[in-house]
Amino acid sequence: MSITVMRKALICFITLALLLVGIPFQNASAKGGSPPQISDSAAASILMDQDSGRVLYGKNIHQKRRIASITKVMTAILAIESGKLNKTVTISSNAYGTEGSSLYLKKGEKIKLKDLVYGLMLRSGNDAAVAIAEAVGGSVQGFTTLMNKKAKELGMMDTNFSNPHGLDNTEDHYSSAYDMAILTSYAMKNPTFQTIFKTKYYTAPNPGEKWDRKWKNKNKLLFQYDYSTGGKTGYTTLARRTLISTASKDGENLIVVTLNDGNDWQDHMNLFNWGFTYFQPTTIVKKGKITGIDDPFYQNHLFARRDLTIPLTAEEKENLKTDLTLKTPPKEDERDVSPSTPVGHLTVTAGDKTLATLPLFYQAKEKKPSFWSDLFNFIHNLFGAASHD
């Protein structure tokens, strides 16, 4: 059961918050604009705000489809999180000669896991994917178990992985545009992943040869689009062209995923440009104490653990509404509230659209030590120190 805290006080609080931390739009006349120019051939597509997870545009975003080599985003982040990037990997007969795009790894050669991840992401090496799976998961099957476990943790409800590279060797390997955007948002929180994702060129040692391996990233947007911060390409005969890309401009970080899109390069740039033009990151609530609360139990005890910042159009900002919902205060003898359990949430809406929900927490005041407690501690410390002289 929940209660809505007095609306008048809430409105005053939210109005004050917007005045203090609202960010003006670069294009004040923009009201959301016409829909972005996106190819009719794209079977599924999504534009997501990387930081808040808000979907700004979507087409068939939850449709389960083959995803080809954008699978390797999951392979890469698991390799990075394994903490084994400096491990030396011996290429097995299973990894050697894996079909499709390849780093042309030699059977029995030794190579750092870090170099394999760069080759995986820049050149989409399927042989590297198998070698990574064996090094991190013990086997391809063991690694796919880790992939699906991570997918479940991230809330990727329309996803199942059966290999680390995305080849069409099974019907049981699929995801959705939304799920892959969620995965990318998660991966981009990792600084090492960010670095690899945006790397244009990489040189890896090539033992036994007089020349090093030199790789150029297959993601053309890194070379053609000024705001590009990374991406991963994919293609198989059944999945057709798939693409994940990220871009940042003026503090706004966006993700685009397209599945089966023959005009993906242009579609990604169009979606990014539309997002940057009509949406502006706006901070609604700052991390810390929530003020303007009249309820005596929650007053001076209600906290937000993070900023609430979401991208808004000018029209949404004008029509922004909020609602604060809190649990009924517990009885006097049951007031030991866990600081890790939300006691309510703030919901942000514009018109009939729910834009975001922020969990809120209860923080009890720290009890100040009494005079006698201070005196006891002083004497204890004094004689305790003397006894060690």
Look at residue 201 and tell me whether its pLDDT is greater than 50: yes
Q: Which residue has the higher pLDDT, 370 or 348?
A: 348
Model pLDDT, residue 10:
39
Full DSSP string of 202-252: EEE--TTSSS-EEEE-S-THHHH-TTEEEEEEEEETTTEEEEEEEEEETTE
* 62 and 179 assigned to the same domain: yes
Q: Which of 272, 268, 74, 83 is nearest to 187 (CA)?
A: 74
**pLDDT level of residue 131 (50, 70, 90 thresholds):** very high
Please check whether residue 149 lies inside any domain of the structure.
yes
* 337 and 268 assigned to the same domain: no
Model pLDDT, residue 24:
31
Q: Domain ends where: 239, 257, 278?
A: 278
Q: How many structural domains comprise the chain?
A: 2
* 208 and 271 assigned to the same domain: yes
Model pLDDT, residue 22:
33
Q: What kind and span of H or E run contains 134? A: helix 126-137
Model pLDDT, residue 331:
72
* 130 and 211 assigned to the same domain: yes
Look at residue 48 and tell me whether its pLDDT is greater than 90: yes
Please check whether residue 289 lies inside any domain of the structure.
yes
Model pLDDT, residue 37:
75
pLDDT in tens, 273-309: 999 999 999 999 999 998 888 888 888 889 999 999 9
Model pLDDT, residue 368:
54
Could you tell me which residues are beta bridge partners of residue 246?
230, 255
Model pLDDT, residue 8:
36
Among 63-77, 170-184, 356-370, the minimum mean pLDDT is found in 356-370
Calpha distance 363→273 (Å, rounded) = 42
Residue 161 structural domain: 44-278
In angstroms, how far is CA 96 from the centroid of its own chain? 33
pLDDT in tens, 71-92: 999 999 999 999 999 999 999 9
| Token pair in block for residue 123 | 């050149």
Q: Average model confidence (pLDDT) for the chain?
A: 87
pLDDT in tens, 243-284: 999 999 999 999 999 999 999 999 999 999 999 999 999 999
CB 344 within 8 A of CB 10: no
List the CATH number of the domain containing 218. Answer: 3.40.710.10
CA-based max dimension of the chain? 83
**Cβ-proximal residues to 133 (8 Å cutoff; 6+ apart), any chain:** 75, 139, 140, 142, 143, 144, 164
* 270 and 311 assigned to the same domain: no
**Cβ-proximal residues to 324 (8 Å cutoff; 6+ apart), any chain:** 4, 5, 10, 344, 345, 346, 347, 360
Among 37-41, 48-52, 128-132, 316-320, the minimum mean pLDDT is found in 37-41
Model pLDDT, residue 209:
83
Mean pLDDT of 22-49: 66
List the CATH number of the domain containing 311. Answer: 2.30.140.30
Look at residue 137 and tell me whether its pLDDT is greater than 50: yes
Among 147-161, 176-190, 257-271, 295-309, the minimum mean pLDDT is found in 295-309
* 163 and 298 assigned to the same domain: no
* 224 and 350 assigned to the same domain: no
Calpha distance 289→285 (Å, rounded) = 10
Which residues are designated catalytic?
A: 69, 72, 124
In angstroms, how far is CA 244 from the centroid of its own chain? 13
Look at residue 369 and tell me whether its pLDDT is greater than 90: no
Instruction: Report percent pLDDT > 90 for the chain.
Output: 72
**pLDDT level of residue 20 (50, 70, 90 thresholds):** very low
